[in-house]
Chain A
């Protein structure tokens, strides 16, 4: 009996001290963590719209995304942005997408994914020509090629998947050809990941864009 009390007491004391330590750290860092998450979200919104536009945040209900952003240039509506998820190869892929009222995709950026490193994780790969022996500081600002190829495609039409090669290796003529067929190139060896994007755009983004358009036409 005495031993059980002793064991319990030891566990209780340790858990209390540890609980306190974690609680204090949580209290000290929670504002900063929230700030960081907002910052990540904000830079994603800015990344999917053209630079220099006025962006405002909205909360939606009904058939609208629960949170979305609209951008306007000199009072003229350019398009909307919202987050959607797709069923990837390893769990959900969360990404931000923006489209104009006609359903033309303006920009896309991946927020979260758990795809296989070296295969599906290449959705965020930047087609960089930088080699390791280049001097540090020669930075270049390039978008990930996979999401960039969606720009200009229509989310109201089915998006095709081309497996003949990867977009970042194609010239302008080949890219225009793919664009006219509303088609993207698959990441080699990761067709499921690629289809996660095209399917969720067809199913979710198209519906959101259509209902947002309706809402703005009512006004």
Chain B
């Protein structure tokens, strides 16, 4: 009996410890599997700022790191840590940036942790709807491209080109019209000078 109770207790204690380790671990690490995947796939250097407020990750005393959080923010952090499913998340995690929080809100922490060994799946789970920086490239695509999903001036150059070309087509058409009218005007002005100088010479000869 004693032995049975002890086993039950140890299982509970072990489970509790495992959960605590998982939660504390998830708060302190920035999951290098995702970072390594992005770098390998895109060929670009990325840092913890993909998802975290601070580019050096969550541990430390700099802005956006755990050591710099106020009591209120720490409570917020603990609440976010405990929320395994998206519906359990009440407030944003203060050590994550907008993309980090958006990922957790969309797929939940549990799924995020489950896909650590298959980081490519994350893009699929995120879908194509969210575009936090409104640059026309979905966050999931920016994640795969290794570009800044929170900066509208940063994205895969050719994709940005196509998006912006479509977005600014009327601006560009008007600019083209203005430039050609200006060119036409200058050409006629120069022609006018040329003719005037020719006429002046002809007048002198007479």
Q: Do A and B come from one complex?
A: no
Residues of B within 8 A of A (CB): none
Residues of A within 8 A of B (CB): none
